With several copies, the nearest count.
Chain A
Amino acid sequence: MSVVARFEIRYTQFLDPHGKAQKELPEFAANADQMARMYRFMRLTRVFDQRCINLQRTGQVGTIASSRGHEAAQIGVAAVMQPEDVMAPSYREHGAAIWRGVRMSQLLAVWGGDERGHNWDGPRHDFPYCVPIATQCLHAAGAALALKMRGQASCAVAFCGDGATSEGAFYEALNAAGAMQLPVVFLVTNNRYAISMPVEGQTAAGTLAQKAIAAGIPGEQVDGNDVVAVRHRCEQALRKARSGGGPSLLEALSYRLSDHTTADDATRYRPDAEVEAARLREPLRRARRLMEERFGWTEEQEQALTEELEAEVEAEVEAYLSAPKPQIEEIFEHQFGNMPPMLAAQREIARKYPAPGHG
């Protein structure tokens, strides 16, 4: 037997769990403004997240998926995306969306059961949250194809989870991206669980990065709790995609610090000790240490930031809660660009029966 192909999967980490640099940091990490901005948005994501859960517990939004623990993976890539790039998130990328200019009140509207939230700010071409697992990977590939056809030097970024890598749509997207050399980057956040299913049950593949090999595209792992590593490797991947170098896949190794959603109880299926251990590796702690060590970030600054972010979130919660109620007619308005008579007739009926309850 002769060897006809060889492959390697590499892993990148700059900061260890204590925020200690393991090797020389990339250039951007010396830029205090950039680092502070990234840290700020990671913190904002966390504050927002906590507030969302409170809102759910008090019946003010519906079921919501927390992004606790995913802050580095989201902000690390958002930070190197350009407005012209196209984001195709799953349902968990609150942080990346906020970075790109989506208002938190709009995110809340969606989770509160109001489609108007998805008519959101930030790049208008970005995709909304996507619930059917892995399907957004194909949208990102399609958007990338559109960018490529128009000769735009931009790229698309698809976000998905470890569970998503079992869906046919995920592989089809990877394979199409490879076959057509599309400017798209797949960021797989391996938070080790798909609801109750640990990643070891999801696949016999030792890494999710190696899924890329099936598509003939580059795949690599990065410490997803290390915002420096995420940003650095994503920057390379996005640049490559934008300049005609083709697609890539990054597996960000992280951990879901929350329940799957507010409708889930993770204690049913995972040991406390595991969660405890994961807390020690979580991304904010690490980023803060870096800020302290490199930029003399103080406890006072931290507290001031927290207060500022809490106020910011509170204002958005206010905006969300005080928005005018959606009306039943609205469900007809955007079903078609040209409303068929049949639907216009139904709208008349609906007007007679305004939505009870949550409306």
Chain B
Amino acid sequence: MSNLTLVEAVNQALAWEMAHDDSVVVFGEDVGVNGGVFRATDGLQERFGAARVFDTPLAEAMIAGLAVGMASQGLKPVPEIQFMGFIYPALDQIISHASRLRNRTRGRLTCPMVLRAPFGTGIRAPEHHSESTEALFAHMPGVRVVIPSSPVRAYGLLLSAIRDPDPVVFLEPKRVYRAFRQEVPDNGEGLPLDHAFVTRPGTDLTLISWGASALETWNAAGELAGEGIDCEVIDLATVSPLDKETILESVSRTGRAVIVHEAAVSGGVGAEIAAVLASEGLYSLEAPVMRVGGYDTVPPLARLEYGYIPSVQRIKDAVREVVEA
């Protein structure tokens, strides 16, 4: 099978790396027998055994803390947090230890771990199942935050994340989990971290997004092209540390930028991008930088969630406003 959904690509990457690196260990809540509530770890326990793929007690701080301990001793733990809304108890271990162990010991101990979590809206689930708080992790020195938005990038970025010698928070947009399929050859080839992908070249304006918002952004760009507005589209992929070069280079050509994400707009990763443009890209800017994001409210429950996240319409309106400015 190589025509895969994003969640299948995640599974394929995990399987590849487990097959090729004995030190990779997968664990979390319901990842073993049940194969993960989204089936991201489906079949891994059967294939690699219950010693390398196991269910843990229900405790996120523990999941992250165990991973830090394991990573420090030479393993490569790839724990799963069931939903990003439940990652917060683990945050202390990430910010206080995972991100610091290398620096604290001046390289004596390191923390090569990948904390995977599905994030974002879109499955009509109860409260706390629609979080997009990647900005919290993006503000942690020593942590990489990586977000795939397609099956191909999920596979390649996850492989690179596991191989990276430092902690990576790997956030999987659950709205994209089964949204479409791509050919994803199982060749073990990673994609570069710290690198933003230009997924569509364009000349009039740079659209920057990541995660599930990449879907609406892509669709908006398509529709706008029909109206004669030629958007360059960037999939940020590694949201921290930021690939400033790609962004600045693009905006130096287009002179305009709109940033799109599901997270609450204030203090989101979009702010950092806009800030970089305001300092290092100011002289390129021909119009205000707009951010289209979730509103600064708690993400609403299912009935209003599609009114909360940026719609194709909102993105298009923002682009038109910036192009006309």
Contact = CB atoms under 8 A, between A and B. Distances in A.
Q: Answer yes or no: are A and B bound together in one complex.
A: yes
Interface of A: 62-63, 65, 86, 88, 91, 110-116, 118-120, 124-125, 127-129, 131-133, 135, 137-147, 149, 156, 163-164, 166-169, 172-173, 175-176, 179-180, 194-197, 201-203, 263-264, 268-269, 325-326, 328, 330-338, 340-343, 346, 349-350, 353-359
29 contacts: A115-B105, A119-B106, A127-B109, A132-B86, A132-B96, A135-B93, A138-B68, A139-B69, A142-B69, A146-B69, A146-B73, A146-B75, A149-B25, A166-B58, A169-B61, A169-B62, A172-B57, A196-B32, A325-B303, A331-B297, A331-B308, A336-B102, A337-B102, A337-B164, A338-B166, A350-B307, A353-B311, A356-B307, A358-B305
A86 B69 CA distance: 10
B106 A118 contact: yes
B304 A330 contact: yes
B126 interface: yes
Contacts of B223: none
A156 B73 CA distance: 11
B194 A340 contact: yes
Contacts of B61: 138, 168-169, 172
Given A113-B302, A138-B93, A342-B241, A332 B70 contact: no
Given A167-B89, A346-B296, A350-B307, A138 B165 contact: no
Contact of B107 (A114, A119, A172, A357): A119
B66 interface: yes
Contacts of A138: 61-62, 64-66, 68-69, 93
A346 B89 contact: no
A119 B301 CA distance: 14
B232 interface: no
B97 interface: yes
B106 A334 contact: yes
Contact of B304 (A65, A202, A269, A331): A331
Contacts of A269: 33-34
Contacts of A133: 58, 86
A107 B31 CA distance: 30
B304 A145 contact: no
B183 interface: no
B303 A119 contact: no
A118 B104 CA distance: 7
A137 B59 CA distance: 14
B70 A128 contact: no
A126 to B, nearest CB: 9
A269 B33 CA distance: 6
B56 interface: yes
Nearest to B107: A334
User: 4 closest pairs, A vs B, by CB?
Assistant: A142-B69, A138-B65, A355-B307, A113-B302
B29 interface: yes
A354 B311 CA distance: 10
A139 B102 contact: no
A173 B62 contact: yes
A125 to B, nearest CB: 6
A176 B57 contact: yes
B37 A195 contact: yes
A321 B258 CA distance: 39
B131 to A, nearest CB: 11
A194 B30 CA distance: 9
A201 B106 contact: no
Nearest to A336: B166
B245 interface: yes
A194 B58 contact: yes
B125 interface: yes
A335 B297 contact: yes
Name which of A112, A163, A195, A264 has the most chain B CB atoms within 10 A of its CB.
A195
Contact of A113 (B33, B34, B301): B301
B55 interface: yes
Contacts of B199: none
B281 interface: no
B241 A62 contact: no
Given A334-B102, A355-B304, A125 B66 contact: no
